Each structure stands twice: as C-alpha cells, then as structure tokens.
Structure 1
C-alpha cells in the first residue's frame, strides 16, 4: 500500500495553503479507538451557547396585545361578548404607545407590566368609585411578540410568543416539525444580528438542554437542509453516486451497504479508500479482504463531503487494457486488407487511383 498521496494536495500551514503530499492512514483497531475517543472528547469540550436558562416568567404586556378586563358585579364596565363577538373582538387593544383606556380610570400605561401588575393598577384606580372592587384580566390575543421560523420545517411562518415560554423545540413543533430533508444538527438562531448555531439532534438523542434555549421577540430560526451532508461513492461498487448522512451518523460499512456493496467481480477489496478534504486533507485506507475487517468499517464514522473509493482489481484492469488493444489490432488488420483489395498494398500490383 502506498504511504502518501500520489499527488500534492492543498494543506493549510501557518504560512498559508501549500501543496503537500498527505500520509495515507491505515484503518485499524487503533485508529478506530482514537476516532471514538476524539469524538467523545469533542462532545465533552463543546461550549454550549451562552443563553438565558429556561424558567417560567409572567407574560409582559406589549403593544398590540388584546386584554379582557372584567369588573365583577359591574357588567356596565365590561364590554359584552356573545355569539357574534369573540373575546378578542370585544377586548381592549394595547395601543402603539403601550397604553389602554378604561372607564373611570382613564389612560393607563400597561406595556412591560405583567397581568397581576395591570390588575392591581386598575383595582387601585377604581377603588375610589367601587367598594371592594374585584378585577379579572387575561390576554385575549397575543400580538406583541413573535418569532420567525424558516427553512426545513413543514409550515414556515410567523408564530406568536404567548404566556407559555417559547423554546427552540416548541417553535419547531409549532411549525409542523422537521421535513425529511432537515439537518437537525444545524439550526441557526438570528438574534439581533448575532448568529448562534444550535444542535437539536443533541437535544433529542443526548438530552442536551443547553441547545433548547428560550426565544425572544424578533428571533429568527432557520433549519438547514441536508444538501451538504453527503458522502460520494466512487469506484467498483454496485451503485455509485451520493448518499445523505441522516441524523449526523453514517459509518463506512453503512455507506458500502447502501451503495449496493462492493462489486466482487471487479473490485479489489484490499484497496478501499476514504478521502476527506478541508484545510487539512486526510486519506484513509481499509483492506477488507477478510469479512471480519468490515467490523473496522462499522466503527469508522464518515463525515459530510467524504469521498469513498473502491479500487479496481489488477486483473480486471489488465483485461480492460487488453480489450482496448484488440480493436486497434483489428483496425490495422482491416486497413491492410483494404489496401490489398484496392491494390495499394505492397508487391507489383497496379496502383488504384479513384481520380
């Protein structure tokens, strides 16, 4: 087996990109162990996004919200609802300046206050006019705070933040969940122009709640697609092409199986290569002549944009070379026969001149 790449590849160095040959690494038990340990260490060292922890807080009223105010025992102070008017239609809308108007109270600043604070404020203002006043307030329509969900979800759109905390998982669920083409490990949060990459796959599979952050008004969530999460299968397999890594996992054995397996009539199972690009290219080699070597393939994780190549057997390559020579030999024999037929060959025959 060759020890280095046959051509020079662009490699990132402290002095910048330079053309260099890359070592070919053998896929053996030691390499598989190192890869698994490195993966576990990377997860342990991963820095979670610095975000506000999830905890329940009272909803704060904002401009555009619709409030229903009920003064018990005084229906004349409550706008009526019925079959023809919903609570939203009959409620009190918070104006753009964050105020509402209520009888005997006048104009009140309610923006930024919780529902209990608004209730206490109205009760205090009504107490000079009503003895033992009892006020009930609820939000009939949440209109002041919203988030935007885009990308690979079933129903992209605008969603209101209510008195129930809106998290990333909740937002995706309200948007109908992920599509089949979604990359759950790449959910981009745009908060006031600051981008944070979230991994919801870690939430679902490892319980990493640090990725399930609480959303704020104006946040934009974009779920990436799987177009970049592909590996490319080339060489002597039954079906060459590309495969999509689903849920962040695909091993070398899985890729070989999904491509129809090695073509045993033409492939050289000693020469299976994985080529990995990037700033520091890597080349891996697996000799899978014996079936138990495929256990190493099962323990070798592929990464997106990897190239899997199965080389051609030497005998098959030789046969192709011979078959390519055969038409050339037949052509020369046919050409010689034509010359003899037309009288242009050697000997003392007459010369054929079509003119």
Structure 2
C-alpha cells in the first residue's frame, strides 16, 4: 500500500488549485481581477497596482498625511471680534439721560430687555432714527451712536452690550453628548470650545476624525492631536454657519483574514493602529501555515482602491509594519503557504487516513 503513496501524491498535486480558503492571485504587480475605480469623474474597471511596503512608501505617505492635516481654511483675523447681526438683542445705556434707556431698567427680564436688531441688520433709536448695525462690532456701534447723539446732547457717554446672541451660530453634531446649535458670543468660538459647549465628546467619539463643513468645502481636523500634542492649528476659529461633525469610532475597524491566530474585526483605538498592532491583536502570523512574504493590506477607499504588500520573511520587516498606519475598513490578509494548501486538499480527499498514512511512511523512512 505504501508503494502507492508516491503515485497518489503526483495524481493529487493539481488539487492545490482547489485548496479551501483564499489565495492572493496577481498579474505581475497588478491584481488579477479588475476593480471599480473612479478616474476623471467616471467609474471604470481596471487592475490595481500592488505597492510594496518599503521605507520610501512610508515616508511618502507620512509627508502626504502632514500636508493634509495642514490643508485648513485660511485664518481671517478680521473675524476675531463679534459682529452684531439680525435677532441680536442689544442693551444701550446712556448715562445721565434715563429717558433714553429702557423703562424699568434692571427689572426687565433679559429676554425682553434691550432692542432687537431686525432682519436687515437695522436698529431704531430715539433721535437717531434707523441705524445700521449689522456686521459691526460693539465698539463701532458705540462710536457711531455716540457721534449721532452728540448732535442733540452734550458730553454723551453710553455703553452697549449684547444681551442675547442670536445672529451667529454653528452646528455641532455627531458623537457629542448634546448635539445641536451653539451660539457664537463675544468670545471667539474655537473647535475645542464648541465641542465643550456641546457637552464634550462621547466615549464612542473618534477625535482623529472631526469634519468641518464650511462654504461647500469639507476639512478634516485631528482634534486628538490638539489634546495630546498641543497642535493648535487644529483648533480653528469657527464662523457663522459652520457645521462640526465628530466621528464615531465604532465604525473604525480593520478586518484581519488568512493565516493568523484568529480572524476577526479589530477596533481602531483613538484613530491609530499600525499593521504590526493588527497582526498582534489577531494573535500573530501562523508561520507554520502562512507565507510571511505575502501579507497584504487591501484598502477600498472611496472608489480609489489601493493594495499594499509586506514581505515579512525577515524579522526586521516588522519595523516597517509598525510604521505603516492602517485606516478604518482596511482588510489585512495573510497568504497561505503552498504546502499548507496541498496538505488541506489531501486531508479533504483522504480524511482521517491521510495523516496516519504519512506518519507510518515517515516511521518507515519513506
């Protein structure tokens, strides 16, 4: 019977191509199959290039990442002071002229006191008539009103303050405790302040993934870097109409498949996970059954697929793995060794008996 084993093995070699599980097939340095890809605004089918994970690739990607982080809207210094707008309620106090002030003074409820700026940005005041205050600072309105009242009174002294801020608002949504509208006040409203006034971020928030929508453009902010590294460039001053969306980390996972200790979906913590960390979370590469030279990262992107390959035949390649950052929804695939595929086919065809036959053959020196 043992003499038949070599013949059986030769006959079963083609079964390697029918091995259970997946195997990464390539066409040179391209994928074997065509993938949907967005090019020039059109969806086309084409093969994707497989990029080796090297030091050059990591440097190139890190430079691009830092440029993206700094791709922020320009700072408008003229907007640091509050600008009065429609529906703001102003309290105007003219000293030594009580007839010009609100009757009842401090006894009036704040929501009823003062004068409301109309939708055109105008305000009516005795003796002066209609005064356009929209878009002006409190200081500018004080100076203009003082100048106009000085035509009728001597040594006019007055004070203006905003009782109710209604004109300028931003929306804070996503993973914050109290999503909704945040009013802008005399104190310039920053990203960190807006998140704080919305109750702070929730436990499920991804502060590495905060999006700012402004003027039809979307900007990505790394608020976690602001908190942990003091990267103040991420703490932008907000403008009226801005929408701030704090991301959800529950959807930030990578998927590990192939010849690893345990195939699973792994949660990315605080927006950071390296290829080495993902392999460790999956209980490492099974070097008995895998091809360490075929570790792939598959990234679907937004119809912009990318595939990266790490050759981990040498242990120092794990330094590259630690320096290669993963992104949410990446799929990590570790290839199967050819001998493992062959063995699995034989085990399917000769269940139970195959292992025993090979053991006996080994003992007899075959």
Question: Is the shorter-chain TM-score for this pair beyond 0.5, marking a shared fold?
Answer: yes
User: Between Structure 1 and Structure 2, whose CA radius of gyration is higher?
Assistant: 1
Task: Name the TM tier (shorter chain).
Answer: 0.7 to 0.9
What is the aligned counterpart of 2:140 among 107, 112, 117? Answer: 117
Cα separation, partners in 2 of 1:157 and 1:323, compared to 1, 3 Å? same
Distance 2:265 2:340 in 1: 25
Which residue number corresponds to residue 282 of structure 1? 307
What's the C-alpha RMSD, in Å, of the aligned pairs? 3.8
- The aligned residue for residue 270 of structure 1 is 292
Q: SS in structure 2 opposite 1:89?
A: coil
Q: Deviations over 1:213-269 (max 9, x none)?
A: 3322222223343466432101233432222334443211100122233457x6436
Q: How does 1:1-355 map to 2 (within 5 A)?
A: 7-10=32-35, 17=44, 20=47, 25=52, 31=54, 33-43=55-65, 45-46=67-68, 48-54=71-77, 57-79=80-102, 80-82=104-106, 85-127=108-150, 129-192=152-215, 194-201=216-223, 204=226, 209-226=232-249, 229-262=252-285, 267-268=289-290, 270=292, 272-278=294-300, 279=304, 281-287=306-312, 293-312=317-336, 317=341, 320-326=344-350
The alpha carbon displacement at 1:95 in A equals: 2.6
Q: Is the 8 A contact 2:213 2:219 kept in 1?
A: no
- Equivalent-residue separation in structure 1 for 2:125 and 2:43 (angstroms): 69
For the Cα contact (< 8 Å) 2:87–2:118, is it kept in 1? Answer: yes
Higher RCO (CA 8 Å, separation ≥ 6 residues): 2
Q: Is contact 2:176–2:246 with CA below 8 Å preserved after alignment?
A: yes
Q: TM-score, normalised by structure 2?
A: 0.71
Look up the SS of the partner of 2:112 in the other structure.
helix
145-154 vs 13-22, greater mean Cα deviation: 13-22
CA gap 1:139/1:215 in 2 versus in 1, 3 angstroms: same
The range that moved more, 15-24 or 33-42, is 15-24
Aligned partners of 1:115 and 1:137 also within 8 Å:
yes
| Structure 2 residue ranges without an equivalent (≥5) | 1-23, 354-366
Aligned in 2, Cα 1:108/1:235: closer, same or farther, shift over 3 Å?
A: same
State the Cα deviation string for residues 136-184 of structure 1 (Å, max 9, x = none): 1111111111111222322211111111222333323322333344443
Number of residues of Structure 1 aligned to a counterpart in Structure 2: 320
